[in-house]
Amino acid sequence: MDRSLIITYMPGLETMTLDEASDLVLRASAPHPIDCVCWPDVTSYAPLTAFAIARSDSALYIRFDVKDMGLRAVVDSDLGPVAQDSCVEFFVQVPGSDEYWNFEFNCIGMLNASHRVERDKPTRLTAEQLASVERLSTLGTQPFAEREGMHEWTLTVKLPLALLGLDSNNLPEQLRGNFYKCGSATAHPHYLAWNEVDGDTPNFHRPDCFGTLWF
């Protein structure tokens, strides 16, 4: 059964710094677990991960909270292979569109993002579009090699509705989407989803497995 959630409307977020907004989103929105181990035959490791989501009149705000064994942040620029690092992701599809969008962030906020109809035919975001997605990590922005031990970190992102082609004065009733936690090149590889993804091999590019995000 598909999971669903309500995106909390919080117009005051736009007057806040991203740090202030992050705290408010967590207090006002119930956290949702990213806890579906999608391919246990590949790896069963499951770092504790949750997200909270809200919106203002112009943007989506997503806060990810992670407790993970080991930490990796090798990718130091946007459009790099951040899914190999300690990574969280948001995939979304607007009703009536065949395209879906993937926003993938390593734990220091580097972003790999595209929109596409088919997985192997992406349209990468431009430098201007990438810059419009604000990010704030409790780990800072400097890259580092694998760190052992248990680590806790938070990443908050602000995603303009206009980037998705959405008009805040005429929003659809819902979006379709999914949230992920992964780290394919970490010491403890893992692939987790909010809404369960099936299949034989790891593949998050499955809009047919998206859940429902109500406005």
Per-residue pLDDT of the chain (215 residues; tens, 9 = 90+): 699 999 999 999 999 999 999 999 999 998 999 999 999 999 999 999 999 999 999 999 999 999 999 999 999 999 999 999 999 999 999 999 999 999 999 999 999 999 999 999 999 999 999 999 999 999 999 999 999 999 999 999 999 999 999 998 999 999 999 999 999 999 999 999 999 999 889 999 999 999 999 99
Tell whether pTM > 0.95.
yes
Domain count along the chain? 1
Domain that holds residue 128: 4-214
DSSP secondary structure, the chain, as one string: ---EEE-EE-GGGGGS-HHHHHHHHHHHS--EE--EES-TTT-----EEEEEEEE-SSEEEEEEEEEEEEEEE---STTS-GGGSSEEEEEEE-TT-S-EEEEEEETT--EEEEEESSTTS-EEPPHHHHHTSEEEETT-S--EEEEEEEEEEEEEEEEEGGGGT--TTS--SEEEEEEEEE-TTSSS--EEESS---SSS-----GGG-EEEE-
Residue 27 sits in a domain of what CATH number?
A: 2.60.40.1190
